[in-house]
Every structure is written in C-alpha cells, then in structure tokens.
Amino acid sequence: MSQTTYVIMDVETTGTRATRDRITEVAAIKIVEGRPTDRWSSLIYPECRIPFPVTQLTGIDDDMVREAPPFAEMAESLHAWLGDAVLVAHNARFDESFLRHEFQRCGIDYRPSQLCTLRLSRRIEPGAQHHHLGALLDRYQIETPGLHRAEHDVSALWQVWQTWQQRFTANVWQTLLDEERKRGQLPSHLDNNILNQLPTGPGVYLFYGHNRLPLYVGKSVRLRDRVRDHFQRARQDDREMRLTEQIQHVEWEETAGDLGAQLREAQLVKTLLPIMNRQLRKQRKLTTWHWPDDGTKPELLSGAALDQPASGAFYGLFRNARDARQALRTLAETHQLCPRVLGLENGKGRCFSSQVGKCRGACWGNETLSEHTRRARAALHPQQVNTWPWPGRIAIREASKTGEKVAWHVVHQWCYQGSAATLDEAQRLDPTATSFDIDSYRILQRFLRDPDAHGLSITPLD
C-alpha cells in the first residue's frame, strides 16, 4: 500500500461562495495505509450571521458557534495537521475552495492535491443514477445520525471509502485513487477523459447542465487549453466555480480558424441563450440614423434596415431611439448644428439654440441648408456604419494552419448566413435565414479590414 496520506474532510459553511461566505464547522479523518490514524473536529465562529436557510439545512445556528474559535485561531495548527495530505471530499472542489480562502485570509497558502469521491463514485459505478452522499449510504446500507453536519458526513464518507476499498485489490484501488487525483480539476459530473477528447485547435465549446440546460458557449483558437482554463480558474473565481459545479456535459465544434469560431459562437449564443453568457446573448433591437443621398436631415430607422441595401449612409448603432436622439443632440451642440433642421425638435423660425449662440442659423437662413448638411454629415462620419462593398453575397475562405481543414463562411450585408466545407455547399446555403447582428458585424469588420493578414480570401457568390 502506498504511503500517501489522505484526509477525508467535510466543511459546513454560511453559503456557497468561497470568496464571501465562511466556514462554520470542520471535521476530518486522517488515513494512512488504509487505516484512520487521527481525527479533527470543531465548530468555527464565522464572524458573520448564519442565514436561516443554512441553519435549516445544517442545524448550526448563531448560538451554537458564538463561543467557538474563529478560523484564524486554529489556522496554523490545522494547516500543520493537514500537512501535504491529499484532501478527500464529496465534491472536493467545494471544500478545498473554502479551506483555501480561509487560510488565505490568515496569510497561509493552502493548495492541496485533492480527490473527489463524487467523481470516484461515478467512475466505480457508472451505471448508477445517483451519486450524492445520501444515495451512496442507501446503496451500501450505511446508517448515520444525519447529514449536513461535518462530523456525521465525514464518518459516513469514511464508511463508503472502506466499502470501496474492500471491493478491489490493493493495486487496483491505488490505481483508481492515483488516476482520480490526476483529474482533480475536472467537475465531478464530467467524463474522466473529456480533456483528452477535446481538439487542440480552434472551435467553439458548449457547457450543459442538468437536463441539457445550456450553461455557457465559448470559443478559442486552442479548445482544450481554454476548457482546462475554466476548470483551473474555478479555484479562484466565484463565477467560474458556479459554472463548473453545474457542468454535466460538454460538446464542441471544430472550426478552420478564429473567424469561424467567433461567428459560430455569436450565432450559438443567440440560438441557445445559455444562462451564463452575458454579452453575446442579447438579441439587441438596434436603431440607426439613415441619411438619404438627397436628404437634408437623417431619419431614425430600425436596425433591420441594415439588412437591405439603401441609398445614402447609416450612422451609429444604438440600443434604442432615446440613445440615438441623445447622440445626435450631443453632436449638434458640439458642432453648432441646428436641432430643428436635424428633426430633433418641432417649430418654425429661429430655434432656441440659435438664440443662445449654439446654432449657426440654418433654421432662419443665416447658414445655407447645403452647408449645414455638409457639416452635419462630416460630424456624423466617424459613426458611419460601413456600407456593404460587394454587389451580393460573398464566401470567405478560411483554412487551418496545416491546410487540412477549410471552411467557407457566407455573408451578405454583414449578415452571417452559415459556413460550409466547400464552395458549392456554401452557394446552396439559405440566403434568407439571418438578419443583421451587431456582434457578427463587429467580428467581420475586424477580419475583413485586412483579410490577407488573417489568411482569408473572398469569393463573390452573386
């Protein structure tokens, strides 16, 4: 038997966020050569109130911990007791995260090797439906005074550990433990080999929770590294911790390059509406200013107008009409343009801005309409939405660095219509399936500003 020391641990806490919430109870059993050699158990004063729902779950209330020592008083002795033992817990990422942050508040760096018995249970009995601690106790007919108290949970988990240990030979059992330690960064519900299955090149990845609920969609030019980074950062970041704790399934799509990955990410986020994508998820109903070639003022249109070619120019992409009008009003004040001529206010004759010297008088003939139009267009020019420079649809060819994977991305009027493996397939994509999307527009602007620099080539389709 290996001389590795294991510590079966359980902590009770005031909540689920390790960076904010605190530990209220710690219990642990030290295992050496397969046998318990020492125990640690203590209530802990969390230096904050315990929420009532937590008290209902654990039975630990403010009165119980009022005379208990704060974590800082026991930090050094507990750290010494733990030593370099492998931390064992049911959902070890949770317990390890709370311990690490409590030690960190005391100036102690604690980053143990960890082994998750929830993951180990899924590995040992992959056909079982449930693997939470209560289910294991029922399955192995193990009795306990109750759950959600650290001492009870640790004792119960030790009995589960013994049940497993007796099932296998010493060598097989140690191999299981060693392999689980190597995969300690993975969420407990994921297949052990998921990282090895992920491609190393560009693409998009999709995280799903219970009942295939879409949690998150991301993209990367190095898929495997990016997904691994999510799991590693969960130890320091609350949002990543909440995400990874819910992941039960991972899917991915390889792409030829970065452009395909970014376009597909934006498309999938708006299709699946994953709950943890904050930016790309929004289906924004944009507004824009359109100034016809022969007009003397701009008109406010829905962003849907960008789907179709039109004479004149579009300026700005705004979340709503109020923001659009405010932006134009600010430009008018900055450049002494007439708000009445621009259509921002009603009335006849000299506008109020002219009376206070903030308008050069296009409203009453002191400035010609043609000169006012010229100045207004010049002021708006930095916000001009680039017009579509091709007569119809285009296919953007993107190839992987090795040239083995090629994709043709079809775009029309800045609208992404999909990708295909060949030019013939690209030509057959449905040209009416998409509408203008600000995120795809911005992605395409970056890449098509200098397509050669990104290894892209453009073929007109119409």
What is d(CA 198, CA 204) in angstroms, rounded to the nearest whole number?
A: 11
Whether the pLDDT of residue 308 is over 70: the answer is no
Nearest to 162 by CA among 172, 147, 148, 173: 173
Average pLDDT over residues 131-142: 93
Answer whether residue 204 shows pLDDT above 60: yes
State pLDDT tens for residues 94-125.
899 899 999 999 999 998 888 999 989 988 99
Residue 353 is predicted with a pLDDT of: 92
Structure confidence by residue, pLDDT tens digits, 371-427: 999 999 999 998 888 778 888 899 999 999 888 899 999 998 888 999 999 999 999
| pLDDT at residue 309 in the model | 61
Phi, psi (degrees; rounded to nearest 5) at 304: -65, -20
> What pLDDT does residue 93 have?
84
| Dihedral angle computed from the Cα positions of residues 206, 211, 213 and 217, in that order, rounded to the nearest 10 degrees | 0
CA distance 130 to 140: 13
Under 8 Å between Cβ of 132 and 224: no
**Could you give phi then psi for residue 208, rounded to 5 degrees?**
-120, 150
pLDDT per residue as tens digits for the range 433-443:
677 778 888 89
Phi, psi of 334 (to 5 degrees): -65, -35
Q: Flag the least confident range among 128-142, 165-179, 304-318.
A: 304-318
- Residue 428 and residue 446: Cα distance in Å, rounded? 26
Token digits of residue 393: 């649809």
Average pLDDT, the chain: 89
Distance, in Å, from the CA atom of 249 to the CA atom of 191, rounded to the nearest integer, reads 8
Helix (H) or strand (E) holding 288: strand 287-291
**Percent of the chain residues topping a pLDDT of 70:** 95
Q: Quick: pLDDT tens for 355-371.
A: 888 999 999 999 999 99
Give residue-wise pLDDT tens across range 17-67.
888 899 999 999 999 988 999 999 999 999 999 999 999 999 999 999 999
Rounded distance between C-alpha atoms, residue 356 and residue 386, angstroms: 36
Task: Give pLDDT, residue 1.
Answer: 39
Per-residue pLDDT averaged across 136-141, rounded? 94
pLDDT 10s digits, 235-294: 667 778 778 878 889 999 999 999 999 999 999 998 899 988 876 655 567 888 999 988
Burial class (CB in 10 A: 0-12, 13-18, 19+), 395: buried
Say what the pLDDT of residue 237 is: 73
Per-residue confidence at 232, pLDDT binned at 50, 70, 90?
A: confident
Q: What is the pLDDT, as a whole number, of residue 284? A: 60
The length of the chain is 462
Round to whole Å and give the CA distance between 208 and 442. 27
> What pLDDT, on the 0 to 100 scale, is given for residue 330?
94
Is residue 15 predicted with pLDDT exceeding 70?
Answer: yes
Q: How far is CA 63 from CA 10, 42, 93, in A?
A: 21, 15, 29
